[in-house]
């Protein structure tokens, strides 16, 4: 029994000495600093597509979200989203936005069919993207998933062709539409300024987005115009459409699996305007236009 007691006392003494040594080490080195969580930046995170993307990222448990927009609502801050209020055309705002970020969803933009907005769209889409790519490289960002438009690829004169990502951009058609033109040059400047070892740029080209939550009417104004019976005639041609929620999910997938330098068309269905208005008429019981433009 005496031997056992001596061994127990020896063990207690050894443990006490070890604890004392550990305490001395802790005092010398201080508490172990935790590495900050990698941050995910969403530019334009309060727009039509951005709102749905941020919501999905929150739902799947992505932490360290940061939204850059002109104004970020309190409801996002209350859910743990960090806000950077500013513009992608302002170098200092962009620098603040990408600090500590490892991946970027670049959705900031302006959708307009008006020729008067051409200069502003060029500034946001082209100059803003150049500033973002340069700042992102300097900050150590590894991946950018960028929103472009199906209008940089899948536009045709007759609608008989079925363009895909391998097609040469139809510049003669693209140049007629300021929005499409600004998006085409956005793609070029992004590829020029965010390429190199360890960098990945993925470009997604969604068609016309439909769905809930388009507070700015950037995509769904045509539906309200239809319901208000402001559309008096059916134009020639047609469009491709995609649900905004499906598009947001595709952006998340692209962050995981998208390949550098690749473009991905996002579309669910192709309809002529006559088919589109006919479907709206059946769903809403609102009479559609009866005249057709030549």
Residue recorded with tokens 């004169």: 157
Output the CATH code of domain 39-209+243-267.
3.40.50.720
Tokens representing residue 120 in the block? 């502003």
Please choose, from the candidates 227, 237, 174, 211, the residue with its C-alpha nearest in 3D space to the C-alpha of residue 48. 211
Quick: pLDDT tens for 112-142. Answer: 988 999 999 999 999 999 999 999 999 999 9
23 contacts: CB under 8 Å, gap ≥ 6: none
- This prediction has a pTM of 0.85
Looking at per-residue confidence, does 24 or 150 come out higher? 150
pLDDT digits (tens, 9 = 90+) for 56-109: 999 999 999 999 999 999 999 999 999 999 999 999 999 999 999 999 999 999
In degrees and rounded to multiples of 5, residue 37 shows phi and psi of -65, 140
Three-state SS at 143: strand
**Between 81 and 35, residue with greater pLDDT:** 81
pLDDT of residue 23: 45
């Amino acid at each position: 029994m005496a031997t056992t007691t001596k061994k127990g006392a020896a063990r207690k003494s050894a443990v006490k000495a070890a604890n004392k040594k550990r305490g001395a080490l802790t005092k010398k080195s201080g508490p172990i600093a935790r590495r900050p969580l990698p941050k995910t930046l969403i530019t334009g995170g309060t727009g039509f597509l951005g709102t749905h993307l941020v919501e999905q990222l929150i739902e799947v448990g992505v932490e360290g979200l940061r939204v850059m927009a002109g104004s970020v609502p309190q409801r996002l801050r209350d859910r743990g989203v960090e806000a950077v209020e500013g513009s992608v055309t302002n170098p200092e705002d962009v620098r603040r936005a990408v600090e500590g970020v490892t991946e970027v969803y670049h959705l900031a933009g302006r959708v307009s069919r008006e020729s008067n907005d051409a200069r502003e769209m060029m500034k946001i889409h082209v100059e803003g993207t150049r500033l973002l790519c340069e700042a992102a490289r300097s900050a150590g960002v590894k991946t950018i998933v960028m929103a472009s438009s199906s209008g940089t690829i899948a536009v045709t004169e007759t609608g008989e062709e079925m363009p895909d990502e391998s097609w040469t951009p139809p510049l003669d058609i693209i140049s007629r539409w300021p929005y499409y033109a600004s998006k085409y040059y956005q793609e070029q400047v992004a590829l020029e300024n965010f390429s190199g070892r360890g960098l990945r740029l993925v470009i997604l080209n969604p068609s016309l987005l439909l769905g809930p939550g388009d507070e700015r009417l950037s995509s769904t104004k045509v539906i309200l115009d239809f319901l208000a019976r402001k559309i008096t005639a059916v134009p020639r041609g047609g469009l491709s459409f995609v649900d905004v929620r499906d598009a947001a999910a595709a952006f998340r997938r692209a962050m995981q699996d998208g390949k550098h330098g690749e473009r991905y068309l996002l579309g669910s269905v192709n309809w002529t305007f006559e088919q589109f208005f006919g479907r709206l008429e059946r769903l809403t019981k609102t009479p559609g236009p009866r005249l057709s433009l030549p």
